């Protein structure tokens, strides 16, 4: 970046002051919160995140430095809740992704179900295709049972999410069945729970770091001199500073 395009020191200072102001506003909103999902707290959080991101960018552009903290941006959170404070009805929306890892296992399980069904059409062999086997499987078992036994059915778990949305009143019977997910309002979401391999990868990276440290310690122990009078246990050398 050229000097002409760099932010001025005054601009960086102003961004820092904006972060301080946003911090004060966020703390004040938290202290005055009316409940767990107070929209004022969400708004103050998003303002703080935006101010911190702007300051971090200007600081880097001007001084090639970064802040020692990271605040998730507004895009990483749900929008402020605007639903009823005391919902009288709710909807639970669930999405679970699976990969058909073992088609033969899936179809074999479907054939067992088909064979035990007295009303199954003779000679139809619906379970002979993946499409037909899935229909039999999900027609026989509830979604939660399939989730707990997915490996048994030849399926591999992908991402999943569960949203709890609030409403003032229950929907009329059959009102939304034709398009059940078309009118989901993110601002009516009370809470959500996500499961993804992405989170597992983050933990795996931490575990790999721990393994590397353990390997280095083992190598160090192997190179250290052994005190023969101390039952062969390695004696660590310490350098005074």
For 156-179, the pLDDT digits (tens) are: 999 999 999 998 889 899 998 888
Residue 230 confidence (pLDDT):
45
Give the tens place of pLDDT for each residue, 73-112: 444 456 778 888 888 999 999 999 999 999 999 999 999 9
If one counts every other C-beta atom within 10 angstroms of the C-beta of residue 83, the result is 18
| DSSP for the chain, written as a single string | --GGGSPPHHHHHHHHHHHHHHHHHHHHHHHT--STT-HHHHHHHHHHHHHHHHHHHHHHHHHS---S-----GGGSPPPP-S-SS-SEEEEEEEEEEEE--HHHHHHHHHHHHHH-TTSPTT--GGGSHHHHHHHHHHHS-HHHHHHTGGGGTEEEEEEEEEEEEESSPPPTTSSTTSTTTT--GGGEEEEEEE-HHHHHHHHHHHHHHHHHHHHHHHHHHHS-B-GGGTT-B-------
Residue 193 pLDDT exceeds 60: yes
Share of the chain above pLDDT 70, in %: 73
Residue 94 confidence (pLDDT):
92
Cβ-based neighbours of 169, under 8 Å, separated by 6 or more: 88, 89
Residue 66 confidence (pLDDT):
84
Residue 118 pLDDT exceeds 70: no
Residue 190 confidence (pLDDT):
85
If one counts every other C-beta atom within 10 angstroms of the C-beta of residue 181, the result is 9
Local confidence band at 197 (pLDDT 50, 70, 90 cut-offs): confident
Q: Which of 1-5, 75-79, 86-90, 147-151 has the lowest mean pLDDT?
A: 1-5
Residue 218 confidence (pLDDT):
62
Residue 134 confidence (pLDDT):
94
What is the spatial distance between Cα 110 and Cα 125, in angstroms, rounded to a whole number? 10
Give the tens place of pLDDT for each residue, 209-237: 566 656 655 655 555 554 444 444 433 33
Q: How much is the mean pLDDT over the chain?
A: 79
- The domain locations on the chain are 3-76, 89-194, 196-241
């Amino acid at each position: 970046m050229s000097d002409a395009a760099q932010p001025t020191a005054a601009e960086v200072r102003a961004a820092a002051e904006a972060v301080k102001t946003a911090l004060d506003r966020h703390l004040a909103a938290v202290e005055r919160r009316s409940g767990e999902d107070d929209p004022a707290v969400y708004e103050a959080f998003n303002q703080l995140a935006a101010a911190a991101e702007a300051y971090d960018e200007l600081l880097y552009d001007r001084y090639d430095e970064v802040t020692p903290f990271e605040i998730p941006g507004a895009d990483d959170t749900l929008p402020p809740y605007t639903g009823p404070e005391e919902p009288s009805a709710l909807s639970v929306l669930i999405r679970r992704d699976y990969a058909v890892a073992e088609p033969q296992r899936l179809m074999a399980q479907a054939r067992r179900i088909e064979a035990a069904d007295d009303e199954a059409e003779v000679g139809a062999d619906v379970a002979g295709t993946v499409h037909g086997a899935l229909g039999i499987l999900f027609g026989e078992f509830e979604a939660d049972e399939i989730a707990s036994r997915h490996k048994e059915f030849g399926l591999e778990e992908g991402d999943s999410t569960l949203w709890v949305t609030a409403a003032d009143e229950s929907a009329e019977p059959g009102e939304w069945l034709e398009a059940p997910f078309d009118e989901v309002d993110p601002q009516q979401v009370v809470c959500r729970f996500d499961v993804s391999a992405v989170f597992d990868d983050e933990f795996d990276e931490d575990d790999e770091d721990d393994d590397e440290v353990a390997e280095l310690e083992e190598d160090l122990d192997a190179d250290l001199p052994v005190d023969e009078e101390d039952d062969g246990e390695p004696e660590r050398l310490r350098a005074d500073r």
